[in-house]
Amino acid sequence: MVSEIQKIGFSILFILNIRWWMMKIIRKEKIKENISVLSKGIYAGIMIGIGGTIYLSVSNQVVGAILFAIGLLTICVYKMNLYTGMIGYILENKLGYLKTLIFTLLGNFIGTLITAYLVLNTRIASIGIRAKEISMIKINDSYLSVFILAIFCGILMYIAVNNFKKREDSIIKYLSIFICVVVFILCGFEHCIANMYYISLAKAWSSKSAISMVFMIFGNSFGAIIMSLFNNKIKTNV
């Protein structure tokens, strides 16, 4: 009788021990996954920062807008994580995708901060003057205006990224990135990650700029989501 109880006890302890090790492995895998998402977000933030640097460095706004698109193109080709390119797919994914988006947004912010800090320590640091001019226009704008302009940008970002993902025609998928980026820049639409870079480069972070940034993030998110819903409705009706 005692030996049977001991066997049961050992079995329970063995099961609990396995469960403990499994949970430990799962936690490690989740940490690795979170670090991977964050890293891809940082890389994407750096690329947007490089795109912003190009835009600020040229006098011709159209040329600058075209060259800025190199940032988004690199992100799409190398499968980096950009918040504005991912938020449109939130309704198609499980709840865990929300955590991915949060880590991506954090990574994007860190990436823009890193790029801004590095640029400010180079001979081209003077572009920070133009960054400040651009940032002040955005910061001093009304929250409603910022939100609406961010919605339009979110729509364009979804179109650009979705075309790159889903289109087999290489010309259309690459062209859509350049056209959408050029349009949102020339129209003055608000891209939250690009603006993170401009504000960081301008050293213009404040409570007001932070609140404006929140409206930009929500606007980009709303625009991408409604475009995603429209796209899914079209596919359903076809």
pLDDT tens per residue across span 171-191: 889 999 999 999 999 999 999
Which stretches does DSSP call E strand in the chain? Answer: none
Sequence spans of domains, the chain: 40-237
State the average pLDDT over residues 193-218. 98
Residue-level pLDDT at 31: 83
Q: Which CATH number fits domain 40-237: 1.20.1080.10, 3.40.50.300, 3.40.50.2300, 2.30.42.10?
A: 1.20.1080.10
% of the chain beyond a pLDDT of 90: 78
pTM: 0.88
Q: What is the mean pLDDT of the chain?
A: 90
Residue 140's pLDDT band (boundaries 50, 70, 90)? very high
Q: Which residue has the tokens 């640091």?
A: 125
SS3 168: coil
Q: Which of 238, 194, 201 is nearest to 220 (CA)?
A: 194
User: How far apart (Å, rounded) are the C-alpha atoms in residues 235 and 77?
Assistant: 25
* pLDDT score, position 17: 53
Instruction: Name the strand (E) or helix (H) holding 198.
Output: helix 192-202
205: Cβ contacts below 8 Å, ≥ 6 apart: 199
The pLDDT of residue 70: 94
Average pLDDT over residues 157-161: 97
